[in-house]
Structure formats: structure tokens, C-alpha cells
Amino acid sequence: MLDPVPSAAEKPPILEMRGISKSFGAVKALSDVSFTVREGEIHALVGENGAGKSTLMKVLSGVYPHGSYEGSILFDGEERHFRDINDSEKLGIIIIHQELALIPLMSIAENIFLANAPSKFGVIDRDERYKRTKELLAKVGLSEAPETLITNLGVGKQQLVEIAKSLSKDVRLLILDEPTASLNETDSAALLELLKEFRRAGITSIMISHKLNEITEVADRITVLRDGRTVGTLDCHEGEVDEDEIVRRMVDRDLESRYPARTPKIGDVIFEVENWSVYHPQHSSRQMVKNVSMKVRAGEVVGISGLMGAGRTEFAMSVFGRAYGRDITGTVKVHGKPVDTSDVHKAIKAGLAYVTEDRKQLGLILAEDIRKNISLAHLGGVSNTGVIDDIKEMKVAQEFRSRMRIRSHNVYQETGKLSGGNQQKVVLSKWLFTGPDILILDEPTRGIDVGAKYEIYSIINELADAGKAVVVISSEMPELIGTCDRIMVMHEGEFVGEVAGEEATQENIMRAIMRRKGR
């Protein structure tokens, strides 16, 4: 239930964006967008990747300065002309991007007051900085010492440090871009509660997110963008807002099911892991994966569920070329025969592919084009006598661009300029080009919208129908239930349960975890 906020609707708008249009060359990113935010509300901004959400917020915050767009911005009832982000921050408009802007080897206090440190006679007042940092951390629920290095904090706490940093700038309008995309359920819930507290304190928030369940939990109003235009605004206080209604407005069609139908054609076992154990790479006494075994058949999609820290990614990375861990023991079999997966090259040769959960850092070279990213894991497939054949590389990229429905100008487009869903298709293309029999997909739909998710699910079905063995690791239980033939439940480095797809419910999965925790 939403907290009652009767005053928000009565107050005048803190922000009005009128008739905003923005083009990049011949591409129109925003077309006559109007967007109004009331003081003291949590306003959600949703839409598919490429709908214009981030562009609109960059116009608002001055990243795209006045004169580079059409339309007007009113803040506190006055028209504003922001030349850069410093202009908007002076009025208390603070944006927190999905990729956090913290310096890992600096302390919390240094990061919070990087550009506005308290000083005396031109010298940083360290005592005052320490005191103010403590006060700000208390406001966001952190008990860490101000001198703690950012690199020693988890992602959830780093997100809270970013919010504390915004409070140091006397924030009035807080913009959060996918704030829970990289957080576990506990950290996500804590962040949402903090936003509710800010609302009670009169701070206005704009939240961009693809997690519709979180949006409907905290938002007062929801504005939907589609293809750079405003579709409409839903008021959550006028009645319960249905997620399916949001999806319909986002994609302009009914998704009768969020998950495409598939009739499984399951064959023989082609992938086996037996008695697999892995220890932490730095803490040699800490066992991350504890003597686990699993089998996957041709044409089968097997999910791995578990709470954050269960060991799912550690298991997958260690199997794929021992990319994680030390003192690894156990056997991997493909088509019934033991194979050597002791490094990534050997794992690929054995028929394995691993799509990382972090496509931006580990899955792609964002500054390179689509063509080079697709060929990256199998350069031999586009080479003649050790020299890359540019024509062959281009043809391979064009084939995958068409097959995977990658939306781009051409195969020479910079990968970092694609939407999240299209970036994920490039990562999948890269690994499919290696010709694998077994695909391990780690959080395959993280940070992408519902329309792009549906396309990724369709690709997973196509891979299974082609006889591949597919393993899906996901923190979203509905995703596993909707896509998998069987779900393995992992907890503290062990498989603690198995649920057939037709019997899978969130309650059954959690019951397996909690039963193990209670031992």
C-alpha cells in the first residue's frame, strides 16, 4: 500500500517540461514530450529501452544544455536555462546514474564532498567533513565510518553513499536511473523504504526503472514514454495500477503472456557437472561451492535460483574456464565424456559458453562496434591464415544482426550506443558464433525492459528447440518459473532442492531455501 500523501496533489508542480524535442542528427529521440512532477511525490518514468527516458533526464539536468533542444523547463514556476549540470545542481536537481560515479579508492567522506568540501581559509576542514558525513550516513541508514573506502562497500551501500552525496547538495528533486538494477532483494527493499522516507520529508523523486513491481509499490504517479513521445500518466492514488496496463502502454500491444510459449523436446543428457567444489580466490578457507552436481539435457532449459550470495555466479564462472575461484575440484562432462575446462579457451572448445551478468564491464567492449564484439570470442571463424578477413567478419555480424533482431543503424555502430536489450543480443551473438552445445546465461535480462525481455525469452526458446542445453541464472523467480523446464535451488554453495517447471511457484522455491536455512 502507498503511504497516504494527500498534500502532493494539492501542491503546485515543482517541475514542468513542456514540448521537449531533441534530435541527434536525423534521429529524433524526443518529440513534443510534456512531463509534470508535483512537489513531494515519487514520480516513476517508464518505457522500453530507447523510449527517451534517459535523454529527457539529461535535458532536465543540463547534460544537454539549453539551446540543444526545443521546448521549455519550468522549476519552481520559473523558466530555467541550464547550461550544464552545475546549473541544475545549484537548484537542488540531482541525478544518480545507473553506473555510480564514485571513486573506489577514496573514502566515503572524500566521495561525498569531492566538489564541495567544507573548508577554513582555503584548507579542507577534515573534522567538519567527518561530522557532516556521519550525519548524512545516518540519514540514509549507513553505520560505516566516513573513512571507509568505497571499494570495501557492496553495491547496495554504494548506492546509499550516492544518495548521501545528493543530500549534501541540498537535494530538492532526486532523479534515480535504475536504482535497484544491481541490488539484491534486501537492498532493493531498503532503498525503496528510504525513498518513502524522503517523500515524507518533502523531497521529490523521479524514478526510472524496469521493475514494475517496485514502481507500483512506491510511485504516486507513473508517466509512460514510447518512441520518444508521452503516452500518458497514471495516478496510483485513483485506484490500483495494473502492471499489465503499464506494459500495454509501454509496448503498444497486449502481452497475453510475459513469457512465450514453448513445447519442450528434451533429449539425452549432454552436460554434466559432478562433485564440483570451489574456494574463494582470496580467502582460501572459504568454500563457495560445495560438492555440487547437476545434469542438463538437450533441448532443456534449467534454472538456478537462490538468494544473493548463494554461489550461483561463482559456480557458473568456475565451470566456464575456472574464471572464478581456486582449489577447484570436480568433473565436467559433455555428451558423456569428461572435458577439460581449465581455462576459457578450453571451455569454449569443449562446447561451453557463458553470458556474464555484467555485460558492460565483462561481456562487451563498449567502444568497439557490433561487428568486432560478435567475432571477439571466435576470431578463428573470421580469419584466413591468422589474419582477420574484414569481409567475412562483416558478413557474420550482418547475419547475427538479422537473426537476433539487433536494432542498429548497421554493424559498424558503436556497441555502447545501443539500448540494453540490443547490447544483450550482441553478447548472445558473440557466444552463439562459437557454436556451443551448452549456454550458461547469468541474469540474461538484467536492466532491460519488458519488450526486450520477451525477445530474449524467445531466443532462449529457439536455442532449446535447436537442441542446446541452456542454464539460466536469475534473481527474478517469475522469470525462472516462466522460462525453465526445471529449477535447481541453490543456498550457501549447495543445491538444496529441485522443482519441475510445471510445479514451480515462488513459495516452493523459497520453501526449499528456508528449509535448508533452518537446519
Q: Are 96 and 183 in contact (CB under 8 A)?
A: no
Which is it for the CA torsion 317, 321, 326, 332, positive or negative? positive
What is the DSSP secondary-structure string of 155-214?
HHHHHHHHHHHHHTTT-SEEEEESTTTT--HHHHHHHHHHHHHHHHTT-EEEEE-S-HHH
> pLDDT-based confidence at 518, cuts 50/70/90?
very low
Q: What is the pLDDT of residue 4?
A: 47
Q: What is the mean pLDDT of residues 491-502?
A: 89
Lowest mean pLDDT among 39-48, 161-170, 408-417: 161-170
The pLDDT of residue 297 is 97
Burial 95-108 (b: 16+ CB within 10 A, else e): bbbeebebeeeebb
Tell me, what's the pLDDT at 309?
Answer: 75
Helix (H), strand (E) counts: the chain: 17, 24
The confidence score (pLDDT) of residue 257 equals 65
Express as a percent the part of the chain with pLDDT over 90: 59
197 close to 174: Cβ distance less than 8 angstroms: no
- Longest Cα–Cα distance of the chain, Å, equals 76
- Band (383; pLDDT cuts 50, 70, 90): very high
Pairing of strands 27-38, 173-177: unpaired
User: What is the structure's pLDDT at 10?
Assistant: 61
34 has pLDDT over 60: yes
Three cell numbers at 76?
519552481
Calpha distance 60→54 (Å, rounded): 10
- Please count the residues of the chain: 519
Cα first-last separation, the chain: 34
- pLDDT greater than 60 at residue 519: no
The Cα-based distances of 366 to 14, 361, 458 in angstroms read 37, 8, 25
* Cell 576542514, residue located: 125
Q: Which of 367, 363, 397 shows the shortest CA–CA distance to 379?
A: 397
Give the residue with greater pLDDT, 504 vs 274.
274
Averaged pLDDT, 98-114: 89
Residue with the bigger pLDDT between 113 and 188: it is 113
pLDDT digits (tens, 9 = 90+) for 296-333: 999 999 999 987 778 999 999 999 999 999 999 999 99
Domains and CATH numbers, the chain: 1-92+212-254 (3.40.50.300), 257-351+436-519 (3.40.50.300), 360-435 (no CATH)
- Min mean pLDDT across 146-160, 251-265, 330-344, 420-434 is at 251-265
At residue 92, the pLDDT reads 93
Q: Which of 178, 136, 175, 173 is nearest to 155 (CA)?
A: 178
CA 246 to CA 234: how far, in whole Å? 9
Distance (Å, rounded) from C-alpha 519 to C-alpha 514?
9
- Pick the range with the lowest mean pLDDT from 50-54, 439-443, 487-491: 50-54
Tell me the pLDDT tens digit for each residue of 215-264: 999 999 999 998 899 999 999 988 888 888 888 888 765 555 678 888 99
Q: Tell me: pLDDT of 1 over 60.
A: no
* Prediction pTM value: 0.67
| Residues in Cβ contact with 139 at an 8 Å cutoff, skipping those fewer than 6 apart | 164, 167
In angstroms, the CA 516 to CA 174 distance is: 41
Locus of grid cell 555480424? 397
Tell me the average pLDDT across 374-385.
Answer: 93
Write the CB contacts of 126 (distance below 8 Å, at least 6 apart in sequence): none
- Residues 18 and 12: their CA atoms lie apart, in Å, by 15
Residue 512 has pLDDT above 50, yes or no: yes
What is the per-residue pLDDT across 73-100, written as a single tens digit (0 to 9) for each? Answer: 999 999 999 999 999 999 999 998 877 7
